[in-house]
Amino acid sequence: MKSSPRLVRACLVALPAVLLASVSATASAQEAKGFNLDRFDPAERGSDWFVLDSLDLRGHKRHAVGDVTEFAYKPLVIYEKDGSERAAIVKLQSFTHIGTSLVLWDRFRAGFNIPVLFWQNVEESHIGTTAYKPSTTSTIGDIRLAGDVRLFGKYRDPITMSAGLALYMPTGDRASYTGDGKVRMTPRVQAAGDYADFAWAGRIGFNYRAQDERFANTPMGSEISFALSGGIRALNKTFLFGPELYGTTGTSDGAFFEKRTTPFEVLFGAHYRLSRDMHVDLGFGPGISRGLGAPLWRAVASIEWAPAYEPPAPPPPPDRDHDAIADQVDACPDLPGIWTENPGTNGCPPAPPDADRDGVLDPDDACVNEPGVATQDPKTNGCPPPIPDTDKDGVLDPEDACPAVPGVATQDPKTNGCPPPPPDRDGDTIIDSEDACPDHPGPRDPDPKKNGCPVARVEGGQIRITEQVKFAFGSAKLVPESDGVLNAVLAVLQQHPDISKIRVEGHTDNHGADALNLQLSKDRAAAVAAWLTKHGIDKKRIESAGYGKTKPIDTNDTDAGRQNNRRVEFHIVKHDEKAADKPKEGTRGGEHFKGVGGAEVPSTQPKVSKDEGAMQPSLPAPAQVPTTPEVPKSAAPGGPSATTPPGPAVVPNVKKK
């Protein structure tokens, strides 16, 4: 009995060892389940690329057959947190993809691809309680069935698009990491095109994967797939070289573009067409990310037989009368006839006699030897008709340029018999009804209020302008955009020495402080006067004044009204009658001058009051719009704006700060 305590102690010592061995045996039995590791998914047969699709969906019952072989180095590696390699579970994996495709009705395509794993080098690894032991047995992967429909465009158009679905049957082996063990499907949208010698393609899809297990603590599941390629065609478009970028990213929580769930790689490929029906391809590229399935590098080679597209033979030309003469050259397509060298009778039955070939047979032709027209009167049937004058204007139709509209005879064949043109008093080719200034030649303008008006003209005691005088924001500094209108005013003053003095006036709206607006209007008027003086106008002929908001020409209750009130005006103060009587170069008797654009412009000669020396216009000035009560000043300073549209008599200022 003394041995009993010793036995108990021995059992107690052995029990932990037995339990530890049991746990170790259980842990070693937890083997990781594989998944579809290969991220190289070749395009349907007939494509110019490895992964992307060139969308050659031409023809009917056109098929292609090909094989793509790939070698991936270290497509499945587990890394430590510091980035060092912990275990290379799959060191080398080699697949061959055998596929075929069939194009139908110049729009649809069906595809079939079977991946075959023929060699795999693995490293059995244990991480924690999980064992990673991929099988090295040759096997097939998940068979792919696909269908695509062309949405628009054709092969090698700048852009062609298609939509389709790829279905992956669970024929792969999870132990060999060649399948998920469940059906996968990928709806996809693809695009491709050519611009001259540049070819491109793109694809985006959603990879539905029913597998939701984790692998090496990395979530598995559905993914978004994406791919893009671009390359150059050379050697009469028989050679294509360029990169293809492709990858996927997980859609589960925390997996979207996470490092381990986003395998991404690039493949540089060269594709050469050996003949019209055969091409070979070589490619090599690195993995860009460390996502599951992205290798350190991948090499690809393929050969494919894809008969060149043969356009369908055109149908025979129509021949309605079955006389073996195509309707296109048959002068009588509905009457069987005979071949002749004359296009007018080719394919027609032999015609009865018609000596003058006017279509009226000789027995019925009153003028057998003189071509004419058919009539109901036997006495005139087949005779030439009298020369018509349809509009009864005395100009016969053959000579009438407007035979249906009564007009007048002229020596110009283009206008003979046409009504006289609408009036254009100023001769600027813009008719008076469309000319905003019918007595002042000017250029065309899309604005009806400025069409036919010179940029500057003398009218109503002013030099009226149709464009803006612009200043820098909140200052009296002229901007270069004002040069055009100021040069136009300068030209008027140079061509009118009879205008002995003008007053440049600056005006604002009622926004902002009165003192600021008044000073800014004075400064801007002075700046314009200084510009004219600098460009050769005697300063004795120019004075300037600013009136702020005191002389509105429109309401200040609206933006449009305030824009009209912000302006610069050029008022004629004095006029030298002696200078006005002297003919000037480019004028006729002092009554016309060359306006801006080179058109002759009638000058409006204002009359001067001898008592006051004030300018009195010879033509009535436009009536001013009654002003409205002042709008209360805003808290912020207001004033002239740069956005006021020009009018025929005023030019707005730029809004000041």
Give pLDDT, residue 609: 32
Third-level CATH fold of 454-616: 60s Ribosomal Protein L30; Chain: A; (3.30.1330)
Separation CA 657–CA 651 (nearest Å) = 19
CB neighbours of residue 5 within 10 Å: 9
Return the CATH class of domain 28-305. Answer: mainly beta
Domains of the chain, residue spans = 28-305, 454-616
pLDDT score at 417: 86
pLDDT of residue 224 exceeding 60: yes
Determine which of 84-88, 207-211, 373-377, 557-561 has the lowest per-residue pLDDT on average: 84-88
**pLDDT tens string 316-370:** 888 888 888 888 888 888 889 888 888 888 889 887 888 888 888 888 888 988 8
Q: Which residue has the tokens 């004419």?
A: 372
Q: How high is the pLDDT of residue 283?
A: 96
Helices (H) and strands (E) in the chain, counts: 5, 26
User: β-strand 160-168 against 144-152: which pairing, if any?
Assistant: antiparallel
For 482-501, letters b (16+ CB in 10 Å) and e give beebbebbbbbbebbebbbb
What distance in Å separates the CA atoms of residue 51 and residue 40, rounded to the nearest whole number?
A: 7
For residue 392, name the pLDDT band (cuts at 50, 70, 90): confident
pLDDT in tens, 282-312: 999 999 988 888 899 999 999 999 988 888 8
Q: Are 28-305 and 454-616 the same fold in CATH?
A: no
Q: Is 205 exposed, middle or buried (0-12, 13-18, 19+ CB in 10 A)?
A: buried
Q: Is the pLDDT of residue 616 over 70?
A: no
92-96 average pLDDT score: 92
- Ramachandran region, residue 652 (left: φ > 0; alpha: ψ -120 to 50; beta: rest): beta
- Measured torsion, CA atoms of residues 249, 255, 260, 261, in degrees rounded to the nearest 10: -30
CA angle 130, 136, 138 (to 5 degrees): 140
More confidently predicted of 591 and 517: 517
Query: Burial code of 391-407, b = ≥16 C-beta within 10 A, e = fewer?
Result: bebebeeeebebbeebb
- Taking the C-alpha atoms of residue 271 and residue 52, their distance in angstroms, rounded to an integer, is 13
Complete DSSP assignment for 117-176 = EEEEEE--EEETTEEE------EE---EEEEEEEEE--TTSS-EEEEEEEEE-S-S-GGG
Confidence band of 213 (pLDDT split at 50, 70, 90): confident
